[in-house]
Chains A and B, each alone.
Chain A
Amino acid sequence: MASESEATATIEDGVRRRDFINIAAVSFAGVGAGAVVLPLVAQMNPSADVLALSSTEIDISAIASGQAIKTSWRKQPVFVRNLTPAEIEEANRVPMGDLRDAETLADRTKPGKENWLITLGVCTHLGCVPLGAAEGENRGDFGGYFCPCHGSHYDTAARIRKGPAPTNLVVPPYDFTSDTVVTIG
């Protein structure tokens, strides 16, 4: 009898005790389930040891003018190219309007070191390694790099000129620690 009168009493103010408990319990379980999902999703991100590989030192003293080397940073290929004066001039001659992703050579190099073009060797289309870093490889219609996978052509400043890639080859963060040593990352 007591419970019956209690029930009628609570119905009068429109909220049943049981509704409150139901909403509170399900909400709390929902928050808990959501909180558990976070680590399950976060574990997919790069782990600490992968992130620890994030800086690489390169000795560039052996790279002659017109040559390029291929090295690796965060498991991705990096091209270090010593541009010839002709290549620098060619890159500076291109009108900005012709570029899909407008950047000057100066934007893509360090002041006073315009001949050192350092980019990731990862095509911005779908991630193949473009050709052109090694001697005798196809350098494409614009004399820079050429991606054989889907036919993207990059110019002497490694800017996209033709083909499906949307942006220029990425310039990674780097600094000259001395005249002959570059630290990437």
Chain B
Amino acid sequence: MSFPWAKNYEPQQPLMKWLDEKLPLPRLVYNAIGAGYPVPRNLNYFWNFGVLAGAALVIQIITGVILAMHYAANAGVAFNSVEHIMRDVNSGWFIRYAHMNGASMFFIVVYLHIFRGLYYGSYKAPREMVWLLGVVIFLLMMATAFMGYVLPWGQMSFWGAQVITGFFSAIPVVGEPIRVWLLGGFAPDNAALNRFFSLHYLLPFVIAGVIILHIWALHIPGSNNPTGIEVKDEQDTVPFHPYYTAKDGFGLGIFLIVFAALTFFTPNLLGHADNYIPANPLSTPAHIVPEWYFWPFYAILRAFTFNFLWIDAKLWGVIAMFAAIALLFFLPWLDSSPVKSSTYRPLYKKFFWVLVADVLLLGLCGMKPAEQPWVILSQIGSIYYFAHFLIILPIVSRIERPLPMPNSITEAVLAKHADDKSAATA
């Protein structure tokens, strides 16, 4: 698609020729994820996670459509209909556990995909649009996951809906009317449950649409690679099929093994026991906590415990939490270093790993109750998170002295190959 040496689609059978003239769909697939897409020859296993995220979305859509055949989105019977799926529907327990854990698997691979992009500078020119669309997908995933978690109408579902829609009431003046408008009532109830179900069914298809744009934008410059050096000529690339279809197939196998282990052996490991108690609007569980993939952002939300600059603590928390994600939209312009890969950025590489540790710390703080020392740790973690993107990254990209870089992907690969050989003979 993007390089002049890309293989051209040439149908052999008369039927395929006929189809290519009327609707060149096989040609589109061939050029997008077939032999017609030349890809850098040196991709490592971190490049599997995009395909794995796509596989996770397909699994979620298939299991979700099936669950919707048995689920009833009514506050009176929703909880019981989920129990009906678990106990009465043939293989219902398997489909629901797969959908529950599929959401976690989706977030695991997407987080790895995001950090891969951060480590290898995949967000930089000429791939800014790929990154921006990725952040949009991430936001849509968060909205979808939240609304899906409300549907079983257990205690965590109900109080999660109460707390998350409560974010909007932090907005001055119009906040409370917006919250009531979103819920269709004064507290989460039937109206909210129904609209969340409707949107939970819709958004995955919107995500699929944005993924098509994400891949389209990717195919214009072509994939990044571990050296961060752009493709220069044909010897730097191999066709996507069969080279990366095979490599992704292997990764998919590992992914499915982990997924099956979670689903069959510890299906409730990542869930909360409280969500097997039916929703009770008059009693809040002692310890409300979101699903693990929201923990870092939940910690940032709770980090503000004091009013500051005439804005109250509640609004600060909500602003900070949304800003933590919105910040990612500006990343391609906050990092001005022309070198993409951390392999050649000794200083950035160190701060990258500090950021990873910081996000893990925030995740831990988000899981723990709002008590010391977790409050102070989440405050430190939140300050560092913002400092990384707004202070450290712009400075590092100006003062850093990158390591010498090879002239091309092929040169880097051959040098590594020669090193391995001399190490083997020595």
Residues of chain A having any CB pair with chain B under 8 Å: 44-47, 50, 70, 72, 74-77, 100, 121-122, 124-129, 147-151, 163-166
Contacts and interface: CB of A to CB of B under 8 A. Distances in A.
A151 B371 contact: yes
B195 A44 contact: yes
Nearest to B75: A75
7 A-B pairs closest in CB distance: A126-B166, A127-B166, A166-B312, A128-B284, A129-B284, A126-B163, A127-B162
B370 A50 contact: no
Interface in B154-202: 159, 162-163, 165-167, 169-170, 180-182, 184-187, 189, 191, 195
B282 interface: yes
Contact of B304 (A50, A149, A164, A165): A164
Given A44-B184, A45-B181, A149 B281 contact: no
Contacts of A72: 281-282
A81 B420 CA distance: 77
Nearest to A78: B282
Contact of A77 (B191, B281, B287): B281
A163 B371 CA distance: 11
Contacts of B182: 44
A164 B305 contact: yes
B287 A148 contact: yes
A75 B169 CA distance: 18
Contact of B166 (A47, A74, A125): A125
A166 B187 contact: no
A125 B314 contact: yes
B163 A166 contact: no
Contact of A50 (B170, B191, B283): B191
A165 B166 CA distance: 11
Contact of B162 (A45, A70, A128): A128
A121 B284 CA distance: 10
B222 to A, nearest CB: 40
Contacts of A127: 162-163, 165-166, 169, 187
Contacts of B312: 166
Contacts of B159: 128, 149
Given A126-B162, A150-B370, 17 more contacts: A44-B182, A45-B181, A46-B184, A47-B191, A50-B186, A75-B186, A77-B282, A124-B314, A126-B167, A126-B314, A127-B166, A128-B163, A148-B286, A149-B163, A163-B305, A164-B302, A164-B314
Nearest to B281: A75
Contact of A46 (B169, B186, B281): B186
A100 B315 CA distance: 15
Nearest to B190: A50
Interface of B: 159, 162-163, 165-167, 169-170, 180-182, 184-187, 189, 191, 195, 281-284, 286-288, 302, 304-305, 307, 312-315, 317, 369-371
Contacts of B165: 127
Most chain A CB atoms below 10 A, which of B170, B184, B284, B371: B284
B282 A129 contact: yes
B379 to A, nearest CB: 12
B189 A75 contact: yes
Nearest to A72: B282
Given A125-B166, A165-B314, A50 B184 contact: yes
A161 to B, nearest CB: 13
B272 to A, nearest CB: 14
Contacts of B185: 46, 50, 74-75
Given A50-B191, A125-B314, A164-B317, A76 B302 contact: no
B55 to A, nearest CB: 34
Contacts of B286: 148
Contacts of A76: 186-187, 281
Nearest to B289: A149
23 contacts: A44-B182, A45-B180, A46-B180, A46-B186, A46-B191, A72-B281, A72-B282, A74-B187, A76-B186, A76-B187, A122-B187, A127-B163, A127-B169, A128-B163, A129-B282, A148-B288, A150-B302, A151-B305, A151-B371, A164-B302, A164-B304, A164-B313, A166-B307
B314 A70 contact: no
Nearest to B305: A164
A74 B186 contact: yes
Most buried by A among B170, B181, B307, B312: B312
Contacts of A47: 184, 191
Contacts of A75: 185-187, 189, 281
Nearest to B166: A126
Contacts of A100: 307
- Most chain B CB within 10 A, of A70, A125, A147, A163, is at A125
Nearest to A130: B284
